[in-house]
Amino acid sequence: MQIGSAIWDFFQGQVLGMKWLNSLIGSGLSALGLDLEGRLGGSLQFFIYDTVKILILLSVLIFIISYVQSYFPPERTKRILGHFHGVTANILSALLGTVTPFCSCSSIPLFIGFSSAGLPVGVTFSFLISSPLVDLGSLILLMSIFGAKVAFAYVVVGLVLAVIGGSLIEKFGMEKYVESFVKNAGSVDIEAPELTKRDRMAYAGEQVKAIFKRVIWFVLIGVGIGALIHNWIPAEWVQTVLGGRNPFSVILATLVGIPMYADIFGTIPIAEALFLKGVGLGTILSFMMAVTALSAPSIVMLRQAVKPKLLVVFVGIVALGIILIGYVFNALQYLLV
């Protein structure tokens, strides 16, 4: 048991967390005469370490996820989902969202395609909630910072939110509030050509390049904000606004996150810095979920496909779910960290 625990600790710390990289960067900065305990030296170490770590893990994860995704082109996904009904379809739709696009805006075209193919509105919304919120990449990156318990708990609650959110939208009879052009667009079922392993490798490589270019700025901005919070903003200030003594910290974090636009990879360094400042785990996760699932640009895009009433119901259900998740995680933080 101890051997297994030691192997896991090594994997989490040195492989996923890349603590060796942090030490190496620290040694290099110290050799240049920088004080790692000072604001400038500490900020540079945080920025370089987190940027390099996230980009390395991101590239590997995108390649793996894209290779898996090559087995699930949109037409095949539609056919798979079409064979299931009720909550089972919502669960499967949420799970399929974990191997699809990394941000809410890129998920919406697939959502429209699924709707035009005649899939139930609740099933398509389970996918739309899950896709930007939960993926294999977020699991690994969260594990590298917060540990396995937090990472798996985040994925589970994200999937539960997607299933419940889609089921409620279905139960409320929101089908009639999907724009008519989406429902009447129809779907052309073209059999996808069978790909060889070389084709899938090439596809995964292209996805790494495309997604890397798209998310690189979010990562750099996120790490920059994280370095600023970690080394320049006093912990007392952060705890006053977002700490456990503020009963509205979860609600505030959710409301602050909604207007922002980033993907899960851009929010993780901010979450890391907030956690080190003593902000509650639930407050941090609420912020991350709000940014990734309810970004302002994605809401604007979604409005083109659904009527205002459905949009309000969607935002309300997801926002309320995120807030409840935040308070639960704050209450149970002692079990996870």
pTM score over 0.95: no
DSSP states of 104-117 as a string? HHHHHHHHHHHHHT
For residue 46, tell me if it sits in a domain: yes
Q: What is the mean pLDDT of residues 64-86?
A: 74
Percent of the chain at pLDDT > 70 equals: 90
Total structural domains in the chain?
Answer: 1
Percent of the chain at pLDDT > 90 equals: 18
Mean pLDDT of the chain: 82
For residue 257, tell me if it sits in a domain: yes
| pLDDT tens digits along 289-334 | 888 888 777 787 788 888 999 999 999 999 999 999 999 999 989 8
DSSP states of 32-95 as a string? TT--TTSHHHHHHHHHHHHHHHHHHHHHHHHHHHHHHHTT--HHHHHHHHHT--HHHHHHHHHH
**Res. 168: pLDDT tops 90:** yes
**Res. 158: pLDDT tops 60:** yes
Lowest-confidence segment of 97-106, 203-212, 264-273 by average pLDDT: 97-106
Chain centroid to Cα 300, Å, comes to 19
For residue 134, tell me if it sits in a domain: yes
Tokens 């193919």 correspond to: 117
Domain span at residue 317 reads 6-185+192-336
For residue 108, tell me if it sits in a domain: yes
For residue 44, tell me if it sits in a domain: yes
For residue 1, tell me if it sits in a domain: no
For residue 67, tell me if it sits in a domain: yes
CA distance 313 to 246: 28
